[in-house]
A and B are shown apart, each in its own frame.
Chain A
């Protein structure tokens, strides 16, 4: 398929052009950036439903030697999520980024980040994945520091040091894998790993890989950077970072490499570490979130908690667990992006992030208020919104796998989630409006559009998922998007057969 490289080439080219347009009029820059992200979204939607695995050999070098781009069910799901959220984030940025001076530079970095994310999703080569991962990470370090205030710089530095160490862990494990097998192509690697017994060396490499990706995904012992970095970034970037960034760089890469390249069977009992990490992040993230008074910081801790859910479901290693993990991943991208954009809208209108200084905002900002309520209900798992169904599937999957303790934890954390989001609603949106906030206005139209689209998606996916009762395949969203992605994970190390003939 000839369109696969466009996912990387288009944003990369756009980043270059946007960087040149520093002095151009803002409307031109907005238009260009939005056209590019809209084009990428259309491309991503156009590949939905492509059956099986499609590969593209870069420079016509065939697989074990050259770099291949791989498009399968899992990559399609991730591509749609990344490009959907990035499109809505750029629409939101039209008004929001007016506060900052260097709009062209902002979009240039944004495009670089999308290029990196799409590259990580599509590549079939270990080292290439590392390169794209670092491209996306470096762009995100810059974007976190974009405001150049004290806090942003401090958060960015912290994020950069921890994130780069994570990157080096991944690089070291890639070096070890290359030393053991003599190849970097993922399919070929998987073939060699399956044919020989590497014993403890492979386990050590996997541990390094898990540590590296856990740093990128902010799983709890490695989470210290996230609550600083995500709130400090401008709101559209927070939405991107929490919505898709940690999931692509952490969870997706982990899924791809551990199931398709190394293979769960090879890891044996060491695999249970995923369950433990998931449960710890879930609980710790939730408990830390409840004490926060900073709106965006609370959301950042909630991201840690929700990523814990995804890890836990993925760690079960059962087909239903994979399905639930991917479904929750998709849902969480949507509602967490919505909530971060909401917080951006509130910040835009009131110029504060402190929940104690807010109150009664629903009265003055009906769109933000209603969409925030939708987001709250979704993330806390209230029917009919999408979060309910994915959490239900996760809990069913845990019970089916015979680990009831984790199911109880998942339910309790879900209650905790409702509690801290009700706190947001109570302090920011409900009640009587404060006198200091009498003059605030609803945010401009482009910001409202993003919010409404995301809230509508929460509801539509939730309503569609009602048909789960008749079996998971009855729901359109699960059948078309999640099921092919799950097949890739269930297929495990048979991944190699789809790429190397």
Chain B
């Protein structure tokens, strides 16, 4: 149970960073933390202590295999989710660099062309 609580705390840290931080790079890092906390949570769903890889060997007992093998689906899903997170992070960094070129700063408070 503790590990889920820690995972949610990680989620909260990421969210806090995005809401409070004023620096583009710190916002991007916070987004990374948030993203990985969700990925971690997903992986934990399929986790079993002393689990084995979900590959059925010849002559293995079926009931024992089901009891021991970890759930492979979350792992497959998390791979996809990591790639999506990667895409978003790259785009964020690219736009942050362009913004730095325009304003010469990473401070969000100094980028105030938009209002209302």
Residues of chain A having any CB pair with chain B under 8 Å = 127, 130-131, 134, 138, 141-142, 145, 148, 150-151, 153-158, 160-161, 164-165, 167-168, 171-172, 175, 178-179, 184, 227-228, 232, 288, 291-292, 297
Contact = CB atoms under 8 A, between A and B. Distances in A.
Nearest to A180: B45
Interface residues of B, number: 32
Interface class of chain A by DSSP: helix
A178 B76 CA distance: 13
Contacts of B6: none
B80 A153 contact: no
B72 to A, nearest CB: 13
B116 A297 contact: yes
A165 B34 contact: yes
Contacts of B70: none
B114 A155 contact: yes
Contacts of B73: 178, 184
Contacts of B98: 145, 148, 153
Interface in B92-116: 92, 95-96, 98-99, 102-103, 111, 113-114, 116
Given A157-B24, A179-B45, A151 B31 contact: no
A298 to B, nearest CB: 10
8 contacts: A138-B84, A138-B88, A145-B98, A150-B99, A160-B95, A161-B31, A178-B45, A179-B45
B15 A165 contact: yes
Nearest to B39: A171
A130 B88 CA distance: 14
A161 B22 CA distance: 13
A173 B45 CA distance: 13
Given A153-B99, A172-B38, 7 more contacts: A131-B84, A160-B88, A165-B18, A168-B35, A171-B42, A291-B116, A292-B116
B114 A154 contact: yes
Contacts of A288: 116
A232 B113 CA distance: 11
Contacts of A157: 24, 92, 95-96, 99
Interface string B4-36: 000000010001001000001001000100110
B34 A178 contact: no
A131 B83 CA distance: 10
A145 B45 contact: no
A168 B38 contact: yes
Interface in B21-78: 24, 27, 31, 34-35, 38, 41-42, 45, 73-74, 77
Given A154-B111, A165-B34, A175 B41 contact: yes
Contacts of B111: 150, 154
A138 B88 CA distance: 7
B41 A172 contact: yes
A158 B112 CA distance: 12
A130 to B, nearest CB: 8
